Amino acid sequence: MEPDVTRFIPSFVSAFLMLLATAVPLNAASSNWADLGGGKARLVADFDPETGEINAAVEIKLNRGWATYWRYPGYTGIPPIFDFSASKNVSLGEIKFPTPSLQTSGGSRYAGYKKSVIFSIKGNVSANQLPSLSLDMLIGVCEEICIPAKANLAINQEQFMQSDPVAKRILSIAKLKMPTQMTSAELELEIAEIGGKTLEISLSHPVVDKLPELFVEGPSDWYLSPAKFQEAKDGKLIFHLDLKNVPDGAEVTLDKLSLTFVSGAKGIEIRD
């Protein structure tokens, strides 16, 4: 009796289609690693020639015991600077910062990252062109002291003609690390000055595991440290924010502040 080959056709077709899917170019690429003194950095990107969309990310791996700053470094920190102006055939939006965590160095407290962090950015490529990305970066890396680290990272047009699965994976991870967006009304956010140089901030949110954190951004001449958690009371989380480095006479109102609430690894950006 001859074998019935028809029963093998469905599985053969499925396997063949999977092979074709993996063979389709991803137009994704990675730069070389650049040394930062207390870690290393590289640029990864993914370009879709059909839609013209480009996703890029700056991946930083820090050495053990080292940290780097969030976008609002407080009184003494170094804010990260990402300059993509030398890139070609591409228009990029604003860099996106993942959920930070509380860092301490000596007597200072600041929002930042340890071990690794991925900053992401999106944009559009000029029609019928291949992009090239060039990034000049200045970032502070901290152990006992903080040092400014510079790096130039680049992905050229030829590199975008290849498929780099590692770049795809890094970009997917970056999305998972981004905070969600909520309004102050959704969190029942309230603020009130107490004692002259302290702002009390309360919000409604269920805390699951770790001590909650609240990072507050203000105008460029305000130097705000992370708020300190006080207590959970009547369904509200209460934080105190030190205003001693706010200019005298400045009016502290909610419209001048941006807040990022963090519980464990999950973050919420409070934007109205």
Mean pLDDT within 154-180: 90
| Whole-number pLDDT of residue 144 | 82
Mean pLDDT within 158-165: 86
pLDDT in tens, 123-145: 999 998 999 999 999 999 988 88
Whether the per-residue pLDDT at 76 is higher than 90: the answer is no
* 141 vs 25, more confident: 141
Do 28-178 and 181-270 fold alike per CATH? Answer: yes
Cα 72 to Cα 7, 37, 109, 207, 260: the distances in Å are 62, 22, 12, 24, 11
| Whole-number pLDDT of residue 11 | 46
Topology of the domain covering 181-270:
Immunoglobulin-like (2.60.40)
Topology of the domain covering 28-178:
Immunoglobulin-like (2.60.40)
pLDDT in tens, 208-252: 667 899 999 999 888 899 999 999 988 899 999 999 989 888 889
Instruction: Show me where the domains of the chain are located.
Output: 28-178, 181-270
In terms of Cα–Cα distance, which of 162, 175, 239, 248 is closest to 207? 239
